[in-house]
Structure 1
Amino acid sequence: MNIKRMILEGETVTQDFKKTITSCEKIAKTMVSFANNKGGKLLVGILDDGTIKGVKSEDEERYMLTKAAHFYAKPALEPIFEEIYVDDKLVLVVEIEESDTKPHYALGEDGKWWVYVRVKDKSVLASKIVVDVLKRQGADKGVFIEYSSKEKALLEYLEKNERITLTEYGKMLNLGRRRAQRIMVDLVLSGVIRVHTTEKEEFYTAS
């Protein structure tokens, strides 16, 4: 593992830096977002700008991370730890593998369980549609879609336009939010459309 190269890459969709672990809730959010995505690594002892500070108390960091993974993530996660010395400073590398039991929820400071996904270098709250997609991907039952005028209208719209939001789709066909969500979930699962989540919005494009 080339730790210096990893640090040079900066924070990414599969990599996050932490100087130290101070909150189980906050770190669980990052861990869960990795598990719900393609997995990822936490580098503890590194500042956001890539400065290597090193870990002062490895036992304390491991304790907080394990506690977060076991009690602040649902289903629980199993982090893989590796200690690496860089210029005589200890960096704790914590790997969270992509889960096959998605979605994972993180316990928030409000006492509620929330699903997070990784978007670029941030852990972002997942929408109802993304949560449903994760659930049904895990069930792996396949998707049978009967194309009604509602689905056809969406696909025709996306042939002429780059993107659409759930709200726009609902307004276009005068659909209730739940009905529109169900259609979107089916089309995402079947690979016909793609969901794009950003920090500010969520939108859909043709695949």
Structure 2
Amino acid sequence: MNNKKASAYGAPAAGTDFRKTWDKAEYEAKAKQRDEEERERMKEADEALQKGKKPRRKQVDLPKPTELMKQREAPLELNKNQNKTMIVQGSTRGPGAPGFYCDVCSRTSKDSSSYLDHLNSRFHLRALGQKTQVARSTIDQEIQAAEEAEREAKRLKKLQAREAQAKAKPPPGVYQSARSTETTGENDADEMSKMMGFSGGFKSRK
């Protein structure tokens, strides 16, 4: 006997196969990720309140961090405009405003300290797609870094030794001028002795 139910037209009934199946593990992972992002946002808000700043009201649509924190390759050049007179625009926002401007976040910091805090913040790293975690160095990387530091120390030591040796030696023009002065003095004495009638001239006693 066939247990499958037939429809009124003789075709087998579909039963409950039309219902959509849900992947519980996938949705649990998504919920966990949302909770983690919310915790990070609340932590950023607490840090902003501690610094006397207003927390962000709306969550900005930032890319998800896909890589670990990287070391900055280009120098920040915080002192490039030190002791310089500059003309700034009247606007209080944007790259023309006085202070340090971040192109990634479109944010201006008043001083270098707050600018560094912003560059190391979760908000800036999130805009770059980086996490706040740093990759651990391997043993080979540590050995390579130690060897590079040792080579740099030796190079600086040799450079300092050369500079000290160059300062200890007098310039070559000093010996040459002293020798020429002594020769000129002897020639003048010989000429004087010839004028006085001494054919042999005077010899310097040593």
Higher strand share: 1
The TM-score range, normalised by the shorter chain, is: under 0.3
What's the TM-score once normalised by structure 2's chain length?
0.19
What's the TM-score once normalised by structure 1's chain length?
0.19
Q: Which has the larger radius of gyration?
A: 2
Higher helix share: 2
> Taking CA–CA contacts closer than 8 Å with sequence separation of 6 or more, which of the two structures ends up with the larger relative contact order?
1
